[in-house]
Amino acid sequence: MSKALDLITRVRGVRGAMLVSADDGLVVAEQLMEGIKGGAVAALAASLAGKLRRAMDAAGTGTSVFWHLQAEQGALLVVPSGNAEGGILVVAVAEPDVNIGLVRLELLRAAEALV
Amino acid sequence: MSSQTRAVESWTLQPLTDFVRESSVRLVLVLTPAGQVLAQSGFARAVDVMSAAALAAAIVATTGELARQLTQPPFAALSHQGPKHGFFLATFMTDRGTLAVLAVYDLDVSSLGLVQLFYEQLAAELKAASPKGAVQKQVLAADFERELTDSLNTLFGR
């Protein structure tokens, strides 16, 4: 798990990476810079993932593979691993100008390693 | 402020209202370990408050005794998750004495992570708002029923 997180946090502009239980929003593993509230990010990511999953089910678009929430002072990037309901979310917290494509690639690799 | 959130002790109302709004919990009780209810949200019937408070107080007492037998400090929180709902029970110290919070949430709407996150905020706000220098009154069996009835009357506006 820590190796998977290592690869994500090595990307320039990534401030932390976490594995989050999609079901209950709790942190499974984390590598975060000081000042990032892991519990809050995990709860937010799981809550959004749950709502997104239900909305996408209703819209008939299938499950999400990657999502990116851009905020003024940072970005949240998430890849659901395995079965989104009851599975693990691979989460990166990054600076606003991070290379999204590179982070996405590492998140997908980490998610694949978890399955 | 939600019309479903009522408090016996008014200093608990705002923190509880914020907690309910932010964590999207379905039911909440703020009570003493003796089962005296200080505030509630989401309950429609007094009888449900009575049974939930009695059961929560029993769980606090049971886990407290288990911890004592294991020579551990009392457990901070207890969580139980079923297929559709979860409940979270935790105790914390205030100037009003030890208080317990029982929260019930729908898994479709909230999560343990969210409830834990906003519970920490609730506990901090209740600690800050609790009456300073309050003398902790011992609960006597003779007064308990009267106090319970008064609390329920306040909570359900009777």
ipTM higher than threshold 0.90: no
Residues of chain A found within 8 Å of residue B105, distances taken between Cβ atoms: none
Residue B64 has pLDDT above 50, yes or no: yes
Kindly indicate the confidence band of residue A30, based on its pLDDT and cuts at 50, 70 and 90.
Answer: very high
A77 touches chain B (CB under 8 A): no
Domain that holds residue A27: 2-114
* Rounded average pLDDT over B7-24: 93
Distance (Å) from the alpha carbon of B41 to chain A's nearest alpha carbon: 22
Residue A82 has pLDDT above 80, yes or no: no
Q: What is the pTM of this model?
A: 0.81
CATH number of B5-155: 3.30.450.30
Closest residue in chain B to residue A40, using alpha carbons only: B117
Kindly indicate the confidence band of residue B149, based on its pLDDT and cuts at 50, 70 and 90.
Answer: confident
pLDDT of residue B152: 75
Average pLDDT over all residues of chain B: 88
Contact B117 A43 (CB under 8 A): yes
Percent of chain A exceeding pLDDT 70 equals 97
Domain limits, chain B: 5-155
Q: What DSSP assignment string belongs to A22-38?
A: TTT--EEEEEE-TT--H
Residue A39 has its nearest CB partner, among B86, B107, B117, at B117
Distance (Å) from the alpha carbon of B115 to chain A's nearest alpha carbon: 9
CATH code for the domain of A13: 3.30.450.30
Total number of domains in chain A: 1
* Rounded average pLDDT over B84-95: 94
The tokens describing A35, both together, are 């000042």
* Rounded average pLDDT over A33-58: 92
Q: CA dist A105 to A16, A95, A100, A109, B141, Å? A: 15, 17, 9, 6, 64
